[in-house]
A = this chain, B = another copy of it.
Amino acid sequence: MSKWVYTFGDGKAEGSADMRNLLGGKGANLAEMSRIGVPVPPGFTISTEVCTFYYSNGDSYPEGLTDQVEQALAGVEATIGASFGDAVNPLLVSVRSGARASMPGMMDTVLNLGLNDVTVAGLAKRSNDERFAYDSYRRFIQMYSDVVLGVEHHLFEDILDEVKRNAGVSQDTQLSATDWRGVIERYKDLVAHELGKPFPQDVKEQIWGAIGAVFGSWMNQRAITYRRLHGIPESWGTAVTVQSMVFGNMGEDCATGVAFSRDPSTGENAFYGEYLVNAQGEDVVAGIRTPQHLTIKGKEKHGSPLPAMEEVMPGLFTDLLNVRNRLEKHYKDMQDMEFTIQQGKLWMLQTRNGKRTVSASVKIAVDMVSEGLLSKEEAVLRVEPQQLDQLLHPTLDPKAKRDVIAKGLPASPGAAAGRVVFTADDAEVWAKRGEKVILARQETSPEDIGGMHVSEGVLTTRGGMTSHAAVVARGMGTPCVAGAGEIRVDVRAREMRVRNVVIKEGDLITLDGSTGEVILGEVATVQPEMTGDFAILMGWVDEVRTMKVRANAETPLDASTARKFGAEGIGLCRTEHMFFDPQRIISMREMILARNEPGRRAALAKLLPYQRQDFVDLFTIMKGLPVTVRLLDPPLHEFLPNTDEEQQEVAEAAGIDVGMVKTAVIALHESNPMLGHRGCRLGVTYPEIYEMQARAILEAAVQVSKETGESVVPEIMIPLVMGKAELDMMKAVIDAVAKEVFAASGMTLTYNVGTMIELPRAALRAGEIAKTAEFFSFGTNDLTQTTLGMSRDDAGNFLEIYRQKGVVETDPFATLDQDGVGELIKIAAERGRATRPGIKLGICGEHGGDPASVEFCQSIGLTYVSCSPYRVPIARLAAAQAALKQRRGK
């Protein structure tokens, strides 16, 4: 006969953790605990195969199920020493659903099943608490009627409200056992009236009713919707777990508590937890009574006057400590456990890997390696890469008070406090006189770079996670809260408002870039500690990692930060960021306003020395590590000012009529600048611009090579190509410059010319492009914009709605859209490699610092990922984990 039922308890189990598909997550986990000798309340699980049978056979059960359930129930009775339906010592059980994948809220649990008019008296006597027993009974009736019998919940609530009103009380806890008896009678009347038959007193009928309800719930609307949204096949089915109830509130030899196998906030290897004598689980959480510590050490550390469990119940404490040790050894991770002591016996109700702070996470992983519990590889897999972010920036003192006035997007992590200013110029002025400032803008533009640099933090009221402010701030490691839409910035009045709060220029505010909180006043911050454990872990990370990690950086500060965080090169140096410096922007504008090529060349000649020095600095800092330089990318109008005053200034500086400036601004205006005259389209139109940039790069490379003796291999990158022709044309310009530079300097260097792949067409034509391109760098920001037809500056208007309505799961600008953008990257990588085996492939969009995206990059064999300097450690860890997962998958 087929096996439908799997028992657990008493140090044995017919199932185990790896039988998740058959027993569901909950059933498998309980079996596992029992199997390794941890005391769990006994019970049994009806397998998912029964669910499948049920739906394939007109809602009927397979032969033998009834017998197997009876038998298993008898086993539970024997183990627990109580009988189901017994008047004196009744066994009570819980009935729960449990699918292969967690489906929270799919069906309510039924607790206290087995209570009826007779057994409730037995419970009252054994617990020596009538009120508890009758309260449990009325809860059972309410829950069972709702879940199993389909009587609407609110009808019971109406009765309860009325009883409380009549008794003149407002809290359930103020009702006596007698009151509850009355409630129970009215509940039973209600059920009889609604269903035309009485509430079932037969405990066997109760249990089969509950089992049927669980199976039935697999096809309710809530479950169907949930499965559709999460891609769970209907065929999986659910299991049903029946488990004996245990109570921690049956007397002074009872207790209940929660415990962590190590300190979840520091990671210290110290048993940690709280308990209450003669209490229910929810009492510990609810905070009605003050919980006591488990250990004497814990008690002393927190200065608690109440005795520790170690003192009060030394034997049971030892039992618990043994369980803790066994579970940690078994699961090889810090455990978060729930336990109940019923009349002198310890029962474990649950264990799971405990949540912890990131520093605890790192410490535990490292400690467990020295304790021999984990291998280094396993330790590497234990830390959530995204979490590392918290370690790398200053954070708000968790003890400090926060007066949160608004919440935006956590656009660039870290905390910062300062005086608020509303223009980039003001930021520079204030900063010069030694003030710490927070720059608050509706949105930032490239012109604001100077002001952003000197600010402690940046706040914008528009824009998303990949807006200009967010991207630049992350690159600088400056905390940023973006898109705080409730705030209205009034630049002219030099103030901002949120509801009825007015914040004037110079007022102190604090930003938490990790949560998106905007806080009034100055909140104390805590500096990051790169502890020894962190360094040890990152060492292991680099041992297993196969993909390189570079940084997106253009300033010496960025580059130094990147190196400090372990970057193995620069994957994206955006040369245009170098043109916004006040001295340079003049020449840049002169170039744009020039009427012809000689005019442009004259202006470019002025820019050359600056640009060359930029690269000298970068190459020197990067000491022979690869540096990928992207030639000018943004449309030229980004360099021209928009206000009348600024246009007047530019005209004066350039010695031309302001009308000419205005004409240029109008002529350069674009409907969709993202899809406009930018990238290599500028290089094709004005080759002299790329010529100057190539000269600056190559002259700098020669200079640094001569000075340091270290060989510099610049990688020159052409943005926004659609196909091979543009790249050929630009490479010819670069090659010609190289010839000249090498001839003039008497030194020849290796340099590579490659391309961004950031347009769908470029991805499709990659095979052709790779004939010329020596490397590809996937610009996933723009590739996402074009593949999805979605402007990241404008997506804020609808992306949130898309997320709410389940159209997208994650922000495609934060986590790579693998189905769409990812397929194009895969195609490009394959075609590129087919033409040029071993072609260097990297990614330099914002996704380079996103763990899920990094894993994708590993899976398709990219050479490196490149990300903001502050995300380099995250990318390193993510890449290491991806390498390990890939190795295991093979």
- B806 touching A671, Cβ below 8 Å: no
* Contact residues of A between 231 and 273, Cβ < 8 Å to B: none
**Interface bits A660-698 vs B (CB < 8 Å: 1, else 0):** 000000000011111111000100110000000000000
A765 within 8 A of partner (CB) = yes
A674 to B, closest residue via Cβ:
B672
Checking B675, B720, B820 against A674 with a beta-carbon cut-off of 8 angstroms, the contacting residue is B675
* Distance in angstroms between the alpha carbons of A330 and B793 in the assembled complex: 64
**B residues near A789, Cβ cutoff 8 Å:** 674-675, 720, 722, 758-761, 782, 786
The answer to whether A418 has its CB under 8 Å from any CB of chain B is: no
- Nearest residue (CB) in B for A759 is B789
Given known contacts A675-B674, A722-B820, A806-B725, is B786 in contact with A787 (CB within 8 Å)? Answer: yes
The 4 closest A-B pairs by CB, nearest first: A761-B820, A675-B791, A672-B791, A760-B760
Cα A271 to Cα B451 in complex, Å, equals: 81
Q: Which residues of B contact A673 (CB under 8 A)?
A: 671-672, 794
Contact between chains at B782 and A761 (CB < 8 Å): no
A102 to chain B, nearest CB (A): 22
Q: Does any Cβ of B come within 8 Å of A742's Cβ?
A: no
Q: Which of B676, B764, B798 contacts A681 (CB 8 A)?
A: B798
Q: Are B725 and A671 in contact (CB under 8 A)?
A: no
Bound Cα distance A681, B803 (Å): 12
A:799-843 near B, CB below 8 Å: 801-802, 805-808, 817, 819-821, 823-824
A822 and chain B: residue at smallest CB distance: B764
Q: Please, how many angstroms separate the alpha-carbon atoms of A704 and B23 in the complex?
A: 58
Contact flag A787-B761 (CB < 8 Å), given A677-B794, A819-B723: yes
Given contacts A670-B791, A759-B789, A765-B819, 9 further A-B contacts (CB under 8 A): A672-B672, A672-B785, A674-B791, A675-B786, A684-B801, A760-B760, A760-B787, A764-B820, A765-B820
Question: Is there a chain B Cβ closer than 8 Å to A729's Cβ?
Answer: yes
CA distance A175 to B644 in the complex (A): 67
- Complexed CA–CA distance, A780 and B506 (Å): 53
> A396–B760 Cα gap in the complex (Å)?
43
Residues of the B chain whose Cβ atoms lie less than 8 Å from the Cβ of A787: 759-761, 764, 786
Partner of A821, one of B725, B761, B782, B824: B761
Q: How far apart sit A225 and B125, CA to CA, in the bound complex (Å)?
A: 101
A68 to B547, CA, bound (A): 65
> Which chain A residues (768-806) contact chain B, with CB distance < 8 Å?
782, 785-791, 793-794, 797-798, 801-802, 805-806
Residues of chain B within 8 A (CB-CB) of A758 are 789
Nearest-neighbour CB distance to chain B for A139, whole angstroms, equals 38
Nearest B residue to A668 via CB reads B797
User: A726 in the interface, Cβ–Cβ < 8 Å?
Assistant: yes
Cβ–Cβ contact A798 & B675, under 8 A: no
Q: Given that A684-B807, A722-B820 are contacting pairs, would A797 and B761 also be in contact in the complex, using a CB cutoff of 8 Å?
A: no
* A167-210 interface code vs B (CB 8 A; 1 in, 0 out): 00000000000000000000000000000000000000000000
- Roughly how many angstroms separate A13 CA and B28 CA in the complex, as a whole number? 90
A675 touches B677 (CB 8 A): no
Closest to A784 in B: B761
CA distance A614 to B729 in the complex (A): 52
* A724 to chain B: closest residue by CB: B807
With beta carbons under 8 angstroms apart, the residue of B670, B676, B807 that contacts A729 is B807
- CB-CB < 8 A to A798: which residues of B? 677, 681, 684-685
A496 vs chain B, min Cβ distance (A): 16
Known: A671-B791, A790-B675, A805-B684. A819 touches B764 (CB 8 A): yes
Contact A794–B671 (Cβ < 8 Å): yes
- Given A785-B675, A788-B722, A760 contacting B824 (CB threshold 8 A): yes
For A797, what are the chain B residues with a Cβ–Cβ distance below 8 Å? 670, 676-677
A148 to chain B, nearest CB (A): 31
Q: Are A726 and B684 in contact (CB under 8 A)?
A: no
Q: Is the CB of A760 within 8 A of B820?
A: yes
Contacts of A808 in B (CB 8 A): 725
Interface flags for A736-762 (1: CB within 8 Å of B; 0: not) read 000000000000000000000011110
A671 contact from B674, B681, B726, B782, Cβ within 8 A: B674
| A381 CB to nearest chain B CB (Å) | 31
CA distance A39 to B797 in the complex (A): 76
A765 to B786: give the CA distance in the assembly, Å: 15
- Enumerate chain B residues within 8 angstroms of A677, measured Cβ to Cβ: 794, 797-798
27 inter-chain pairs at a CB distance below 8 angstroms, sorted by A residue, are: A670-B793, A670-B797, A671-B791, A671-B794, A672-B673, A672-B675, A672-B791, A674-B791, A675-B675, A675-B791, A677-B797, A681-B798, A684-B802, A685-B798, A722-B789, A722-B790, A723-B819, A726-B807, A759-B787, A759-B789, A760-B786, A760-B789, A761-B787, A764-B819, A765-B819, A786-B786, A786-B789
List of B residues within 8 angstroms of A790 by Cβ: 675, 722
